[in-house]
């Protein structure tokens, strides 16, 4: 079981990810923008963060930079959707800023859960 923070401005995406992740035994908290997600992590440490890239306010790029600065050991998965060229650019930049995995929305549940398992291995909270 891992503690996971989901950061996405789309409540439907948050609900879907929460359903999938909790169904696999993880503890999930959610935030709807990068600043709220970063603050949530300050209050309740997590093993992994899943963040959208395109969000109003503090976007995913700024969020990844803040997480890398303040929580260098947290694992990060970045996701984005939209136009193909823009999505590819957004995700590649997210990876260069410190995301360990990148996915285009919508991501298949199995691929996401496999990535989480690979990133966390035996380093999950109890």
pLDDT tens per residue across span 42-96:
999 999 999 999 899 999 999 999 999 999 999 999 998 865 667 777 777 778 8
- Residue 55 lies inside a defined structural domain of this protein: yes
List b or e across 16-32, with b for residues whose CB sees 16 or more CB atoms inside 10 angstroms. bbbebbeebebebbbbb
Rounded to the nearest 10 degrees, the angle between the axes of helix 84-97 and helix 60-70 is 10
- List beta partners, residue 24: none
**pLDDT at residue 88 in the model:** 74
CATH number at residue 83: 3.40.50.2300
- Residue 122 lies inside a defined structural domain of this protein: no
- Residue 15 lies inside a defined structural domain of this protein: yes
Q: Domain of 37?
A: 3-116
> How many angstroms separate the CA atoms of 112 and 71, rounded?
22
Domain count, the chain: 1
């Amino acid at each position: 079981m891992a503690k996971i923070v989901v950061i996405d401005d789309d409540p439907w995406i948050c609900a879907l990810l929460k359903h999938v992740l909790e169904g696999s035994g993880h503890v999930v908290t959610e935030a709807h923008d990068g600043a709220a997600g970063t603050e949530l992590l300050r209050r309740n440490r997590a093993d992994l963060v899943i963040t959208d890239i395109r969000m109003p306010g503090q976007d995913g790029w700024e969020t990844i930079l803040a997480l890398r600065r303040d929580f260098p050991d947290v694992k990060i998965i970045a996701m984005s959707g939209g136009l193909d060229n823009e999505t590819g650019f957004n995700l590649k930049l997210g990876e260069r800023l410190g995301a360990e995995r990148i996915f285009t929305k919508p991501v298949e549940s199995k691929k996401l859960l496999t990535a989480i398992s690979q990133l966390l291995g035996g380093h999950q909270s109890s």
